[in-house]
Amino acid sequence: MKDNSYLKWADIFKTIGHPIRIKIIETLLENEKCVRNIWRYLDLPQSTVSQHLSILRSKGIVENEREGSSVKYFVRDKKIEEIIKIIKSNK
């Protein structure tokens, strides 16, 4: 396998392949949010959301931006939005 794009895409699918991460991405596609709003919206512990956001950030799927005293997260890779739309259309 000479083409590294296959490895990259496999890594992306592995990263977003967790139910909590899919929910986080779906939430962030609505609009950018801070961690507090994400964990409140998803009714999950703050530590769980932060851990998953860290994984998503390390893979370049989401990014964060400081806004005053809070940090807002948003989906960086628009291809991910397409993937989520496809997943949702097959429910």
The whole-number pLDDT of residue 22 equals: 94
Q: Give the domain extent around 35.
A: 4-89
The whole-number pLDDT of residue 61 equals: 95
- For residue range 8-66, list pLDDT tens digits in order: 889 999 999 999 999 999 999 999 999 999 999 999 999 999 999 999 999 999 999 99
- What's the predicted TM-score (pTM) here? 0.87
Strands 62-67 and 33-34, how do they pair? unpaired
Instruction: Domain count for the chain, please give it.
Output: 1
Q: Higher pLDDT residue, 66 or 5? A: 66
The whole-number pLDDT of residue 91 equals: 64
Enumerate the H helices of the chain as residue ranges.
4-16, 19-30, 35-42, 46-58, 78-89
Which domain CATH number covers 36? Answer: 1.10.10.10
Q: Are 9 and 41 in contact (CB under 8 A)?
A: no
The whole-number pLDDT of residue 50 equals: 95
Amino acid at 74: F
- For residue range 54-81, list pLDDT tens digits in order: 999 999 999 999 988 889 999 998 889 9
User: CA-CA distance, 36 to 21, in Å (whole number)?
Assistant: 16
How distant, in Å, are the alpha carbons of 1, 3, 13, 31, 53 from that of 75? 29, 26, 15, 9, 11
Backbone phi, psi, residue 6, to 5°: -65, -40
